[in-house]
Amino acid sequence: MNGIQSLIAALGISLFATATAAGSFEATSADKDLQALVTRWAQSEGKKIVWEATGNAAIKDAEALNSSAQMRKATTFAQALQRLNMSLEAARVDTALVACVFNDAIVIRTIDQPPCGSPL
Distance in Å from the first CA to the final CA of the chain: 20
**pLDDT tens digits, 12-32:** 433 433 334 444 798 888 999
Q: Mind listing the pLDDT tens digit for each residue in 66-95?
A: 898 999 999 888 899 899 888 877 877 666
pLDDT at 47 over 90: no
pTM: 0.71
CA angle 62, 112, 67 (to 5 degrees): 20
Q: Domain residue spans in the chain?
A: 3-47+54-96
- Identity (one letter) of the amino acid at 111? I
Overall average pLDDT of the 88-113 stretch: 83
Cα(76)–Cα(99) distance, integer angstroms: 13
**What is the DSSP-derived secondary structure letter of residue 36?**
H
